[in-house]
Amino acid sequence: MDKEKKKTLVIASLFAVIAAVLVVLILFKVFSPKSESIVEATTEEAETTVMHITEPTTEHIETTALPEETTEPVEEENGLYYKDNILVRIDDSVYGEVEVREGTTEIAECVFSHSNITKITIPDSVKRFNFGSFEECEHLEEIIIGSGLVSLGDEELPFGVSASEIYPYAGLISLKKVEVSKDNKYFSSEDGVLYNKDKTCLILYPASKADSQFVLPESVIKIKNFAFYNTNFLEALYIHDNLQQYEKFSFLTVTYSYDEESAYGTDTGIGFEIYYTGSRSQWSAALIGEEPYYDIPPTIHYEHIETTTNPYTRRDPFDWLF
């Protein structure tokens, strides 16, 4: 009797185990697809969430990156483009002589950069240039400035040339003449050279001015930085001892060379001789800032005595004896 009970219990246990295994298999089969669909749904939701975050951000960047100029009206006249009385661009096809239209108040940055113009007339209405207005304008020979100009772009970088340029007049290699209206209250010109109004400061000596000699007017007490940069024809500059200030690169000349070993190179110096009526100590005292270094030592004649080649005239105190 005990044997039969044990046998029955073993069989019942086996059936119970089999039944439990079957139940597990059935449950796994039933609920497995739902799990996959849950995972897929979760993945889709995540992707949707990412797209929802990314798309508006991209659109926002694209919208804010657009320059204002593209959404505002720009007028074109003879290849020059104006916006709100500001000259903002010149067409690449424009070359030769150009006249900025009357009513223009400003010339924007880099407008004539690398352009093919040879002469430009600035009307009385223009009040200022900006950085790079004439940057690398290699063909420009003449600039005519009206009576209204107040600013050249920056006090330390005349002619609104780019602040990134080491030598701001590097691009004006063909400039022969700057002419300023006599009615201008801030600037003046004489024989093609640009000065402030009362001619106490020389701002720019054109690089391609044809004269081999230049006599600094006795009214000039300051010479701006890069004023005589890379002059092509100047051989002698006569300076009086009334000069009170000149800057580190007022007379800088940069020459370019090429050889197979070192490729392009530069040498700095002063491309003309300076004849100064004062002493060496007076010359050093007039320098603003540190002493410039030149690869090619400049030739400066101190205490230069007036001759027929130097038009500074000083009466000899003993003339009356002869």
For 283-294, the DSSP string reads HHHHEESSPPP-
Structural domains of the chain, count: 2
Boundary of a domain, candidates 65, 85, 104? 65
In the chain, % of residues over pLDDT 70? 69
Contacts of residue 165, defined as CB under 8 A and 6 or more positions apart, other chains included, come to: 135, 171
What per-residue confidence (pLDDT) applies to 134? Answer: 82
Q: How far apart are CA 31 and CA 25, in angstroms?
A: 10
pLDDT more than 90, % of the chain: 47
Residue where a domain stops, chosen among 43, 65, 87:
65
Q: For residue 238, is pLDDT > 50?
A: yes
Question: Whole domain around residue 293: which residue ranges?
Answer: 211-322
Q: How far apart are CA 314 and CA 304, in angstroms?
A: 12
Residue at a domain's end among 21, 43, 65: 65
In this prediction, residues 151-164 reach a mean pLDDT of 53
Phi, psi for residue 119 in degrees, rounded to 5 = -150, 140
72: confidence class by pLDDT, cuts 50, 70, 90 = low
Looking at the domain assignment, is residue 183 inside a domain? Answer: no
| Mode of pairing for the β-strands spanning 75-77 and 80-83 | antiparallel
For residues 38-47, average pLDDT: 43
